[in-house]
Amino acid sequence: MALNRKDFWKGFGTALIIVAVISMVWKPVARTIPWHMLPFEIGMSRSAKISMIEEYLDRYYVEEPDEKMIDDMLYTGMLAGVGDRYTYYLTAESLGQYMENANGHFEGIGLTVYTTEAGEVMVAGVMEGQPAEKAGIQRGDVIIGVDGEDMRGKTQADVADKIRGKAGTDVTVEVARKSTGSTHSFTVTRGNVVLQTVESRMLQKGIGYIAVSGFKENTYEQFREAMQGLRTQGMQALLLDLRDNPGGLIKSVYQIGEELLPEGTMVYTVDNRNQRSDLICDEKYLDIPLVVLVNGNSASASEILSGAIKDRGVGTLVGTQTFGKGLVQRLFTLPDGSGLNITIQKYYTPNGTSIHGVGITPDEIVELPEAYQTMFREEIPAEEDAQLQRGVALLQEQLLKKDF
CA separation, residue 267 to residues 216, 222, 239 (Å): 18, 23, 22
296, 378 contact by CB (below 8 A): no
Say how many Å lie between the first and final Cα of the chain, rounded: 111
- Report the run of H or E that residue 333 belongs to, with start and end: strand 327-333
Give yes or no: 300 in active site: yes
The DSSP secondary-structure symbol of 242 reads -
Cα–Cα distance measured from residue 97 to residue 254, given in angstroms and rounded to the nearest whole number: 24
Active-site position among 154, 216, 310, 325: 325
Is 325 part of the annotated catalytic residue set? yes
DSSP state, 3?
P
Residue 16 CA: distances (Å) to CA of 11, 12, 23, 27, 379:
9, 6, 11, 18, 83
Query: DSSP assignment of 136-163, as one string?
Result: T--TTPEEEEETTEE-TT--HHHHHHHH
Q: Which residue among the candidates 298, 300, 302, 338 is catalytic per the annotation? A: 300
346: annotated active-site residue: no
SS3 for 368? coil
Amino acid identity for residue 324 in this structure: G
Query: Going along 38-179, which residue ranges are E strands?
Result: 88-90, 105-108, 111-115, 121-126, 142-146, 149-150, 170-177
What are the catalytic residues?
300, 311, 325
